[in-house]
Amino acid sequence: KTFKKGSHLRTHLLTHTGERPFPCDSCPRAFNSQANLLRHRLTHTGERPYECPTCRKRFAQSSTLRQHLFVHTRRYPYACGDCGGRFHRPHRLLLHRYHHTGEYPYKCPDCGSSFLLRRLLEVHRSVAH
């Protein structure tokens, strides 16, 4: 993998070591970059600086606003064959499919519990083990 900035490479390398040198001062979570910590802090402050121009709903992250905008454009080309649920990105459909199978890809090596997202497994391990 290549990066334009050395700082991006250093942040990426932390994903391999598991190091998270940026702790949140309001909860037990820690992050591999200052940017991720700052984004997370918005969950504690309740600040929602990004507003939908159509319905005026506000969001803490610009990425969440972008995702929300699909509600208004109705562009959901990826459909679930089991329940008819529709999604705007193929990876969202893939994540949704795990709900039907009940098999989640991230398994805890300590107790065998399974999780849909790696982040949820990490939280589980930090709290339960």
Q: Can you give the CATH number for the domain in which 82 is found? A: 3.30.160.60
The tens digit of pLDDT for each residue in 9-39 reads 888 888 778 788 899 999 999 998 888 898 8
pLDDT tens for each residue of 48-99: 989 999 999 999 889 889 888 887 877 788 889 999 888 888 988 988 998 8
User: 1 in a domain, yes or no?
Assistant: no
C-alpha closest to that of 75 among 59, 83, 66: 66
Distances (CA, A) of 66 to 43, 47, 70, 98: 18, 17, 7, 24
Tally of domains within the chain: 2
Range of the domain at 53: 6-73
- Pair 31, 20: CB distance under 8 Å: yes
